[in-house]
Structure 1
Amino acid sequence: MELFHEYKNKYFHLVFRILNLAKNGLYKDEIIRLIEDEEYDEKVIGKDFKTFEGMILNQYGKEDNFNFLEEREGKYYSILNSEDSIPLKVRFSKLEKSWLNGMIKEPVVQTLLGKETSKKLETALTDMKEKGSNQIIEFTNKVQNGFDIDLEKLSKDFYTILEGIINEKPILYSNVDKNGNEYNNQLAIPIRIEYSLKDDKFRASLYSLDEKRSILVNLHTLKEVKIAKNVDSNIKRKDVLKKLKEKKYSEVPITIELEDIRGAMERCFMSFSSFERNSRTISKNKYEIDIYYYTFEEDEVIRKIMSLGPYVKVKAPNRVREIIIDKIKRAFMYETT
């Protein structure tokens, strides 16, 4: 499997998940819901207009199906004959183990994982030579925090917000922003928890039910957060994500044509790893890629495209192509003057 092949890696993870969950059997509608949550909008992935859903549920001929599941008494079971509770396990490389061994020494990591989980990880990593330090990891462009973190409170708030995300429950929070403004008993739907390595901060992405907009709060500035009780909100997390995407996403993606010379494809996928993409082969070593982005990210997308050099050209939209042509012309004129 190619390291940067987005389709293969995304569907590989989906198969991995389904096989593990199907050890004790899954109903058809449960499998379909898992697929709908994770698959690309373009559902046809196989030849002759076959879908991932059809191939995983054995809806075609034997040669065309994945044949990973077998149906018994109305439920689908993994074909893996494993006594283990997790049929497919993640296998870590030595480098990944070294990184993990260093990370579990960090106080904030130990606090979030808890003593029991941290102890299990330490026991599992006893074969690693690097112990008790994080010296093998080099952090760059990291800002030094000017505040103290209450690890116990951070852990409590982290898991409260996580509970709200998992159980689709609104939260009530009180916060102090960077300007010292206080917001008390704010009602919001938790969307995700983020960590900024550069700033060394945990943040919560929320949708304010009071202000009808998305907001971002730092966990270290939260005064209090709790699950809101007796609050029946008709707005669900997935609805908010869909609404935000429709509102802030560009109307059309930027479509580029890329010739895979000197690792251009790999560099492209690395550059756009945080963006939603669709890619397809149009000939040998030549690919077409749709890049979806938030409107405020357009300058960054253009800069990344130009950094790929002469092996890429913008096919659409015309407006973006003209912007890049103008930038190249001005750069050339500057060099010749």
Structure 2
Amino acid sequence: GDDYADPQYKKHFRLLLQAITEKRRVEISFISGKNESVRKEYLPLQLEYSAKDDKFRLKAVCERHLHYVNVGRIKSCRLLEQTGEEACMLLEPERCAVTVLLTDERNALERAMLHFSHLEKITERLDEKHYRLQLMYNKSDETEMVIRILSFGPLLRVQEPAGFIELLRHRLRKQLALRAKE
């Protein structure tokens, strides 16, 4: 998780909150997931907490695209004078849906309802142990959705869309290749 006691982390967090409140742009330097140094201007929209990773991520607009930046990876952050209200109005997140079959063993239904509580969903009971769930999410959260669904193992089986099933397969192949290298 993030180092919440770090004074630099606290400073960045407060500055990002101020930028969100005042709808002001920020210039952020951070280390990407690929260990590359990045410096860009962003319009912060919100801070999101991931209970699974115990981290905060900044949801922000950069060049009309939605980006996520892990707050713990930020090296420097400064508030800019210009506002970015026009970018907020231009950005409409792409909505997606995934349909899964859930087998209610080991309290899976209750865990899924809690795990996906922040999402809009339709739940249909098929029989005593089986449910169909349709989960709606933003396209930008697709990787997170793949990881969350995989965390349920065989208790959640994706029915559709085919593109999402292919994302799951790709992720599993990637994990198998990493294990083979060990």
Q: Provide the TM-score with structure 1 as the length reference.
A: 0.36
1:225 is aligned, of 75, 78, 101, to 78
Kindly indicate whether the alpha-carbon contact (under 8 Å) linking 2:47 and 2:58 is maintained by their aligned counterparts in 1: yes
CA separation of 1:107 and 1:235: change in aligned 2, threshold 3 A: closer
> What does residue 273 of structure 1 align with?
116
- Cα offsets for 1:228-285 (capped at 9, x unmatched): 324454121x753x32xx1xx64x42242x4545533124335x43773513344674
Number of residue-to-residue matches in the alignment:
160
Q: Distance in 2 between matches of 1:318 and 1:107?
A: 40
Unaligned runs of 5+ in 1: 1-105, 109-148, 328-337
Task: Give, as a single letter, the amino acid of the residue that structure 2 aligns with 1:263.
Answer: N
1:164 matched to 2:9: no
**2:78 corresponds to which letter in structure 1?**
V
Equivalent position of 1:155 in the other structure: 10
- 1:207-246 map, 5 Å: 207-209=61-63, 212-219=65-72, 221-226=74-79, 228-231=80-83, 233-236=85-88, 240=91, 242-243=92-93, 246=94
Identify which of 264, 273, 284 aligns with 2:108: 264
Q: Matched residues in 2 for 1:173 and 1:318: separation?
A: 39
The answer on 1:300 being equivalent to 2:147 is: yes
Amino acid at match of 1:187: E
Matched, 1:291 2:138: no
Contact 2:126–2:132 (CA under 8 A) maintained in structure 1: no
Q: Structure 1 residues 318, 159: CA separation in 2 closer, same or farther (over 3 Å shift)?
A: closer
Structure 2 contact 13–71 (Cα < 8 Å) conserved: no
1:189 aligns with 2:33: no
Separation (CA, whole Å) in 1 of partners of 2:144 and 2:41: 29
Amino acid at match of 2:81: K
- Between the aligned partners of 2:153 and 2:4, the Cα distance in structure 1 is 41
Task: Tell me the amino acid that sits aligned with residue 143 of structure 2.
Answer: F
DSSP 3-state at the match of 1:234: helix
- The one-letter code matched in structure 2 to 1:280 is T
Larger radius of gyration: 1
* Percentage of matched positions with identical amino acids: 19
Check conservation: 1:192, 1:206, Cα contact below 8 A. yes
Higher strand share: 2
User: What is the Cα-based RMSD across aligned positions, in Å?
Assistant: 4.3
| Secondary structure in structure 2 of the residue aligned to 1:223 | strand
Q: Encode CA deviations 1:140-170: one digit per residue, 9 max, x unaligned.
A: xxxxxxxxx3x1x433332221122234x12
The equivalent residue for 1:122 is: none
Alpha-carbon distance change, 283 to 235 in structure 1, aligned in 2, over 3 angstroms? same
Tell me: higher relative CO, structure 1 or 2? Use CA pairs within 8 A at least 6 residues apart.
2
CA distance 1:264–1:163, shift in 2 (3 Å): same
